């Protein structure tokens, strides 16, 4: 089966929590892309089976809500075996916007609940505005044994910069 080169899905002013059934259907319809850009996605509560993204090489999650203990990220890491580049651009990592300083804490279940299948991941770029990125760095560090080729690049940006 041939693959689609690039798909971008931008959700603007999405109200409510969680991924709607229609949004999930749309996501499932682009399972054969090599580059996927998702912007504005909320936390994922998925009752259906997550699709296999066999051709996905590059994934950009931009301004997505990952405060669900990284379930959206976990689903992609489990179902994208050929993923080479992951970019998390200004994503929300914490449920509490006031809690930005101090030690990052992940639940123990989060660290061990999924099997990382993207052994070819070479670059994870995290573009963040505050210290909230500590949680995702801790998560990736805990999985570093499963991602031997992965290089993590952190870029802090000014919140007022577009």
Per-residue confidence (pLDDT) for residue 142, from 0 to 100: 80
Within a domain: residue 46?
A: yes
pLDDT for residue 111: 42
DSSP character string of 107-145:
-HHHHHS-----TT--EEEEEESSGGGHHHHHHHHHTTT
Q: Is 161 inside any structural domain?
A: no
Residue 18 domain-assigned (yes or no): yes
Residue 162 lies in a domain: no
Task: Find the domain containing 24 and state its range.
Answer: 4-156
pLDDT per residue as tens digits for the range 56-108: 999 999 998 888 888 888 889 999 999 999 999 999 887 665 544 444 444 44
- If one counts the domains in the chain, the total is 1
CA distance 81 to 121: 9
Q: Look up the CATH number of the domain holding residue 115.
A: 3.80.10
């Amino acid at each position: 089966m041939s693959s689609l080169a690039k798909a971008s899905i931008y959700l603007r002013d999405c109200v409510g929590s969680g991924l709607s059934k229609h949004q999930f259907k749309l996501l499932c319809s682009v399972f054969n892309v090599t580059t996927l850009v998702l912007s504005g996605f909320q936390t994922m509560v998925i009752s259906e089976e997550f699709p296999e993204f066999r051709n996905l090489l590059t994934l950009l999650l931009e301004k997505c809500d990952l405060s669900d203990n990284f379930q959206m990220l976990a689903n992609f890491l489990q179902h994208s075996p050929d993923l080479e580049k992951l970019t998390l651009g200004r994503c929300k990592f914490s449920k509490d916007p006031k809690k930005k300083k101090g030690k990052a804490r992940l639940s123990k279940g989060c660290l061990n609940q999924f099997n990382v299948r993207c052994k070819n991941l070479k670059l994870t770029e995290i573009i963040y505005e505050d210290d909230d990125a500590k949680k995702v760095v801790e998560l990736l560090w805990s999985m570093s044994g499963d991602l031997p080729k992965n290089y993590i690049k952190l870029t802090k940006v000014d919140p007022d910069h577009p």
